[in-house]
Amino acid sequence: MTTASSSTPGWSKVQIPRPLQRLFDLFPLRAYEPNDLPERSQHLTFSSLPTLFIFTTDEDARLGLPSFNPTCLRWQTLLRLTGLEFRVLPSTNHASPTGALPFLLPARSSSTGSSSSSSGALPPSTSPSQPPPPSSSPSPPTPIPASKLLAYAQSHANPAKSSHPATSGDRLFPSRARAYVALVSNHLRSAWLCALYLDPARAGLLDALYLRPASSSAAVRAALRRQLRKAAGEQILDSAPAAGALRSRPGERERERERAEQGKGAPSWDWAWQEDGTAIDPRAVYASAREAMAALASLLAESKTEWFFDAEAPSEFDAAVFSYTHLMMQYMSDGEEEAGALGKMVQSAGDGELARHREKLWRFAWPEGNGEAKEGR
Amino acid sequence: MASFWPGGSPAAGVADAPANRGPTQMLDEHRLTPASISKLEVHGAPNTRRALLDHVLGPLVADSAAPGTTLGQVLDRIGDATRKLSRFDIFKEEGFNVFLSEAPRPEGAPPADRTDLEVAINVKEKSRLVFTAGTDFGNAEGSAYTNAIARNIFGGAETLSINASTGTRTRSAYNATFSTPVNNNPGLRLSLEALRSATQKPWASHEERLTGGNVRLAWLTAARDTHTLSYASVWRQLTGLSATASPTVRADAGDSLKSAVTHTFVRDRRDNPMLPQSGYLFRAVSELAGWGPLQGDVSFAKTELEAQSNLPLPLRGASLGAGFRFGLLYPLPTGYSLTGPAQPSRINDRFQLGGPTDVRGFKLGGLGPHDGADAVGGDVFAAGSVSALLPLPRTGPDSPLRLQLFANAGRLVALSTKPSAKAKGKAGKAEGQDRDGLALDSAAVFKSVKSAVGELGNGLPSLAAGVGLVYAHPAARFELNFSLPLVLRRGEEGRKGLQVGVGISFL
């Protein structure tokens, strides 16, 4: 049965007779000003600045502090390096056009709706100048997914502010870097996922970062926690050959359990069992992360500048490494390295090159010094 | 011995059956003679608990024992009791049969001053397990469903209904409802429901997934009004945004838990809900979400009123109808505070207005604030309609077909702290934008609600008028209208020309 909404396309294809069309053109007899958009929309989607939606807290967002999600932090760092003026707001993957954060929403403009003006004459961030009157823009801006962020930033950033045209020449990564990208995107990432999502000892951290902002309900958080853990386990296993995580064979689970029951001093969290019966060995994951960090540290030691690959200014690769080393040091510095104290692992890699690199890039991207997040979260 | 049909109208089955005329006349003549019930039997209810029948039929015997009870009163009470039994929905409507006979008097007993009656009620139980599949029409939606009902599970008219459906807008919906009369009273039912669904909301470019449950207590008053008190806890996930989804929808995407108590009152005095010719309807829904012990992620008070009145015209089959709806959402602080900061509403809590079943001549969600193509809803609305139903010359007043002339109007406004257009000059620009978070303090909430309610009367309401055909099927009402929008706000989506409406509740 056709409802009015679904019948629309069918009718619009029919050629409307001329007299009827003339009648239709008379209506409506009167059109008032548009309705104002709701308060949440006014507050969250109207700004004179483009808005980067990332995983963060309300408070950190207001101060522009680093995101606690590595992918978001990587893009946030890069955008800051380009000199683009933007604000950040907390969001969820559901909001993103790609299904994953981050994404950027250009400021609404009253005239055309698409902010394609490449003049770069964005108002300074300090002025709270009111954006154009809401709801009058016929077409709201389309969101920019992460993959197109740099192109957008380069056409919109204030060149004066971008003293470090870091990303101008490089496409995605310098060709030499590509070989090392897997170290970050597989080994460091797997270790981060394993420590944050699968280690029961960090359930509190996972709750604080991802679950409490989603809902105040314990039942909803429990359902989300299960989904997150499952997804994290799958992603680790996907990169398992590279990251050294082990799949188990049937029967191994029982043997593991027996060994644990015999009290052979096995730590409480030895294997992270997935629903399909495979398991992840955290020790293997952490060991391969340590190797990766050592390789990155020596790579950094070889560089003539303070950044990777002899670059004059931090590149995307620097941002990618930073996004993990920074968060590992900030959130995972307690405990033993074998038990997933990834922060300590970063510090002890090589001669501490990675820790110094993280410090430097942090100061560089957050020169105003407000990148200092509160400790002991 | 007499037999009659208590379920339907007095005329049904009795007056037209010549065979029954003698006994009926006999009964009429004897309505004033004293009578009592000496014995009452129920046949044909092997699966029904005795307590359930006792609760309905016990008072019947007890009341009839009082001296001065007449035969007429006994018959009326039997009629009431069988109507009550039929409300349990475990007996077949056509299966009721009541037999009266005079109790045999013991040998040599003194002549009694009243007639002792023996009553036998025959019933037929409905199937205890029913599977159905079919298609369904809700408001502006068609769907296919499969349904399993287990009736009278423990013999006390308990029902378990399990339902799975998929439709034009509802991608999937599963729910299981267990329902039971409280204290064996058919007018008081308690039900528990668990549900999971995914529904597309094309007017706002997203999909909403619900997982949750509710407890519901429904009762029928002596005046035939229904009250429903329910508590629901639902996890809502706003996801599956289309590529063109507006910033407003993106800002509201994600998870939220709504924990709310709702009271619904319905007084339906219309002669026919699908094609009312006379009578009125009043419906009031009040909801409290998130406040105090309710917890959850959203907190507000919400109320919705609906009134409809119909007046027959001198011409048979012609009538004049008027309807009015009003709704208001008031953001509340969480916890027990009344003055703390309150979060402004989300899209899945706000009202939508417009469409073939409410304000005709507008697209679904066509009224109110729009962000690009998305109808993002509002916190306050008012809508009204006037319509005349006229019988068609060929088919006449007895057919379910009518010609309809209508005009309807509505306003849907969102709460906003943005200074209104008039006040913009003096109020300065920074208000609202500079505050720390999204939350509003109680004074700002009150001010914005007041200004939104005031905005309802600012200028003419968005208005459409038209003419069309109405077909009232017992299951749903179908409308085909030609309409034109006369007044609207820019951004609102009027619909010029033909519009089809299918639904069970129209403005």
Residues of B in contact with A142 (CB under 8 A): 244
Name the residue among A108, A127, A117, A121 with its Cα closest to residue A44.
A108
B433: phi then psi, degrees, rounded to nearest 5? -75, -25
User: Does residue B356 belong to the interface with chain A, where contact is any CB pair within 8 Å?
Assistant: yes
Position B239 pLDDT exceeds 70: yes
Q: What is the pLDDT of residue B136?
A: 77
Residues of B in contact with A43 (CB under 8 A): 344, 432-433, 438
Do residue B254 and residue A92 have CB atoms under 8 angstroms apart?
Answer: yes
Q: Which of A2, A14, A41, A101 to mutate to test the interface with B (most CBs of B within 10 A)?
A: A41
Do residue A27 and residue B494 have CB atoms under 8 angstroms apart?
Answer: yes
Contact criterion met (CB below 8 Å) for B412 and B381: yes
Do residue B368 and residue A35 have CB atoms under 8 angstroms apart?
Answer: yes
Q: What is the pLDDT of residue B17?
A: 39
Position A26 pLDDT exceeds 70: yes
Q: What is the pLDDT of residue B16?
A: 38
Q: What is the pLDDT of residues B356-403, one digit of tens each?
A: 989 999 999 999 999 989 999 999 999 999 999 999 988 888 899 999
Q: What is the pLDDT of residues A278-333, one digit of tens each?
A: 678 888 888 888 888 898 988 888 888 888 888 888 888 889 999 999 999 889 88
Q: What is the pLDDT of residue A162?
A: 55
Give the pLDDT band (50/70/90) at residue B112: low
Instruction: State how far residue A50 is from chain B, nearest Cα, in angstroms.
Output: 12
Q: What is the pLDDT of residue A244?
A: 47
- Provide the CB-side half-sphere exposure for A16 (13 A, CA): 13
What whole-number distance in Å separates Cα of residue B160 and Cα of residue B462? 45
- DSSP bridge pairs for B170: B199
Residues of A in contact with B485 (CB under 8 A): 27-28
Do residue B371 and residue A37 have CB atoms under 8 angstroms apart?
Answer: yes
Mean predicted confidence (pLDDT) in A350-355: 85
Position B3 pLDDT exceeds 60: no
Do residue B414 and residue A220 have CB atoms under 8 angstroms apart?
Answer: no
- Angle between helix A175-182 and A316-331 (nearest 10): 30
Nearest residue on chain A to B489, alpha-carbon basis:
A32
Quote the mean pLDDT of chain A. 76
Mean pLDDT is lowest, of A218-227, A268-277, B379-388, for A268-277
Position B264 pLDDT exceeds 60: yes
Residues of A in contact with B345 (CB under 8 A): 38-40
Do residue B489 and residue A214 have CB atoms under 8 angstroms apart?
Answer: no
How many Cβ atoms are within 10 Å of B352's Cβ, its own excluded?
A: 21
What whole-number distance in Å separates Cα of residue B444 and Cα of residue B432? 9
Q: What is the pLDDT of residue B12?
A: 35
Do residue A92 and residue B255 have CB atoms under 8 angstroms apart?
Answer: yes
Position B272 pLDDT exceeds 80: yes
Q: Beta strand A51-54 with A87-90: parallel, antiparallel or unpaired? A: parallel
Nearest residue on chain B to A34, alpha-carbon basis:
B490
Give the pLDDT band (50/70/90) at residue B278: very high
Instruction: State how far residue A147 is from chain B, nearest Cα, in angstroms.
Output: 15
Q: What is the pLDDT of residue B405?
A: 96
Q: What is the pLDDT of residues A63-114, one digit of tens each?
A: 889 999 999 999 999 998 888 888 999 999 999 999 898 999 998 874 333 3
What percent of chain A is predicted at pLDDT more than 70?
A: 71
User: Does residue B372 belong to the interface with chain A, where contact is any CB pair within 8 Å?
Assistant: yes
Omega into A97 within 30° of 0, i.e. cis? no
Q: What is the pLDDT of residue A127?
A: 36
Mean predicted confidence (pLDDT) in A348-365: 87
Position B13 pLDDT exceeds 50: no
Quote the mean pLDDT of chain B. 86
Instruction: State how far residue A120 is from chain B, nearest Cα, in angstroms.
Output: 22
- DSSP bridge pairs for B335: B291
- Angle between helix B71-87 and B50-64 (nearest 10): 160
Name the residue among B261, B327, B329 with its Cα closest to residue B301.
B329
Residues of A in contact with B429 (CB under 8 A): 128-130
Position A211 pLDDT exceeds 60: yes
Q: Which of A37, A89, A104, A139 to mutate to test the interface with B (most CBs of B within 10 A)?
A: A37
Mean predicted confidence (pLDDT) in A203-223: 90
Cα–Cα distances (Å) from B368 to B205, B310, B327, B489, in that order, read 16, 28, 13, 8
Q: Which domains does chain B have, with CATH numbers?
A: 17-122 (3.10.20.310), 129-163+262-291+303-503 (2.40.160.50)
Among B168, B297, B432, whose Cβ lies nearest the Cβ of A215?
Answer: B297
Nearest residue on chain A to B424, alpha-carbon basis:
A133
Q: Residue A31, exposed/middle/buried by CB under 10 A (0-12, 13-18, 19+)?
A: middle
Do residue A41 and residue B492 have CB atoms under 8 angstroms apart?
Answer: no
Q: What is the pLDDT of residue A241?
A: 58
What whole-number distance in Å separates Cα of residue A286 and Cα of residue A341? 9
Structure tokens that stand for A353 in this block: 């090159």
Nearest residue on chain A to B464, alpha-carbon basis:
A28
Q: What is the pLDDT of residues B443-478, one digit of tens each?
A: 899 999 999 999 999 889 999 999 999 999 888 899
Q: What is the pLDDT of residue B26?
A: 63
Name the residue among B234, B254, B295 with its Cα closest to residue A213.
B254
Q: What is the pLDDT of residue B227?
A: 97
Do residue B346 and residue A40 have CB atoms under 8 angstroms apart?
Answer: yes
User: Does residue B417 belong to the interface with chain A, where contact is any CB pair within 8 Å?
Assistant: yes
User: Does residue B144 belong to the interface with chain A, where contact is any CB pair within 8 Å?
Assistant: no
B485's enclosing H/E stretch is strand B477-489
Mean predicted confidence (pLDDT) in A167-195: 75
ipTM, 2 dp: 0.79
Residues of A in contact with B364 (CB under 8 A): 3-5
Position B252 pLDDT exceeds 90: yes
Helix, strand, coil distribution of chain A in percent, nearest 5:
50, 5, 45
Position A228 pLDDT exceeds 80: yes
A27: phi then psi, degrees, rounded to nearest 5? -105, 150
Q: Please tell me which residue, A172 or B406, carries the higher pLDDT value.
A: B406
With tokens 């010359």, the residue in question is B393
Per DSSP, the residues of A116-147 read: --TT--PPPTT--PPPSPTT--SSPPPPEEGG
Do residue A1 and residue B137 have CB atoms under 8 angstroms apart?
Answer: yes
Do residue A35 and residue B140 have CB atoms under 8 angstroms apart?
Answer: no
Q: Beta strand B254-268 with A272-273: parallel, antiparallel or unpaired? A: unpaired
What percent of chain B is predicted at pLDDT more than 90?
A: 51
Residues 6+ apart with CB under 8 A from B342: B299, B300, B331, B332, B333, B439, B440, B441, B442, B445
How many Cβ atoms are within 10 Å of B431's Cβ, its own excluded?
A: 14
